[in-house]
């Protein structure tokens, strides 16, 4: 297990380097069939990550790979779930809030997660079974693993009730339903403060104690959330599906996620019936 986590960390750093190389250029933007943007950074990062993960002989679900038919995928007990550049819109805006997401999933549940923020060189990684989640502030994309482990500090979510309740919102995808949900929280008698972040950094905000809850009442795909869920689950943060009221699951027939809520396991925040 540790070997796979180290492989994912190395892959994320190498992908982060090529992403930033493209970031410093005047890059072209394509529009995919689903209307989402695609850049050279997405494709180069995907190739780099594949080069690290393919030798593990564990199948890969990646946003930028051709998706394997479910008739085959359903036989996979374990798989990687990858978004080589999460937050392409943020990348295009050049606001730094984009990430590399790599997760290892077994029987539908995240086991390991790595989120790398190339613009700031912040690295989040976690082992769910060991209940360990860490953040390391790096000086270089080429930082050796030994140095990363020295720099790593345990993630510490908030403890106790908060007022105001800090709610993580998206810079690019703030929906009316999310705004309505905030009104539901206000109805409990507490103030609400919005903390806006792009990409999978929204999960990290809750995991490291900079926010209380992240409601996502808008579409996401499995590769958008698997690494973030691993990091959150490792430190006691729940990622709950609105459809099942249970943890989000992965390698489903439909890779589209249901709406979900991220919060401390001891906190109770309602999932609105919308």
The upper half-sphere exposure of residue 5, i.e. CA atoms within 13 Å in the direction of its Cβ, equals 22
Do 20 and 119 contact (CB within 8 A), yes or no?
yes
| Confidence label for 13 from pLDDT (cuts 50, 70 and 90) | very high
Other CB atoms within 10 A of residue 272 CB: 17
Segments making up each domain of the chain, as ranges:
2-154, 165-264
Stretch 131-151: mean pLDDT: 97
Q: Of 124, 190, 195, 136, which is closest to residue 163 (Cα–Cα)?
A: 190
Stretch 3-25: mean pLDDT: 97
CATH number of this structure's domain 165-264, picked from the four choices 3.30.365.10, 3.40.50.10860, 3.40.50.970, 3.40.190.80:
3.40.190.80
CA distance 179 to 183: 7
Fold annotation for 2-154:
Fructose-1,6-Bisphosphatase; Chain A, domain 1 (3.30.540)
Question: Residue 272: is its pLDDT beyond 50?
Answer: no
Q: Do domains 2-154 and 165-264 have the same CATH topology?
A: no
The larger pLDDT score, comparing residue 51 to residue 163, is at 51
Q: What is the pTM of this model?
A: 0.94
CA distance 89 to 255: 21
CA distance 6 to 246: 29
Mean pLDDT of the chain: 92
pLDDT recorded at residue 218:
87
Least confident range of 97-111, 142-156, 162-176, 211-225? 162-176
Do 214 and 203 contact (CB within 8 A), yes or no?
yes
Region of 158 please: left (phi>0), alpha (psi -120 to 50) or beta.
beta
pLDDT recorded at residue 271:
55
């Amino acid at each position: 297990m540790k070997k796979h986590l180290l492989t994912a960390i190395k892959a994320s750093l190498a992908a982060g380097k090529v992403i930033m190389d493209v970031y410093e250029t005047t890059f072209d933007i394509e529009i995919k069939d689903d209307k989402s943007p695609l850049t050279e950074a997405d494709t180069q990062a995907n190739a780099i990550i594949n080069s690290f993960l393919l030798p593990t002989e564990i199948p890969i679900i990646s946003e930028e790979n051709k998706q394997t038919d479910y008739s085959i995928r359903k036989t996979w007990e374990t798989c990687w779930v990858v978004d080589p550049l999460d937050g392409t819109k943020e990348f295009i805006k050049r606001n730094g809030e984009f990430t590399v997401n790599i997760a290892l999933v077994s029987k539908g549940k995240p086991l390991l997660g790595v989120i790398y923020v190339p613009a700031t060189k912040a690295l989040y990684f976690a082992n769910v079974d060991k209940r360990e989640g860490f953040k390391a502030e790096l000086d270089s994309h080429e930082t050796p693993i030994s140095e990363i482990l020295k720099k790593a500090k345990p993630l510490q979510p908030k403890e106790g009730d908060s007022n105001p309740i800090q709610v993580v919102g998206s810079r690019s995808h703030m929906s009316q339903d999310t705004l309505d949900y905030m009104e539901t929280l206000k109805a409990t008698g507490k103030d609400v403060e919005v903390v806006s972040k792009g990409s999978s950094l929204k999960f990290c905000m809750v995991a490291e104690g900079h926010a209380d809850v992240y409601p996502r009442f808008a579409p996401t795909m499995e590769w958008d959330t698997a690494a973030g869920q691993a990091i959150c689950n490792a430190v006691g943060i729940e990622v709950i599906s609105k459809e099942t009221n249970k943890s989000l699951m992965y390698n489903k027939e439909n890779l589209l996620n249901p709406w979900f809520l991220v919060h401390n396991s001891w906190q109770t925040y309602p999932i609105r019936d919308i």
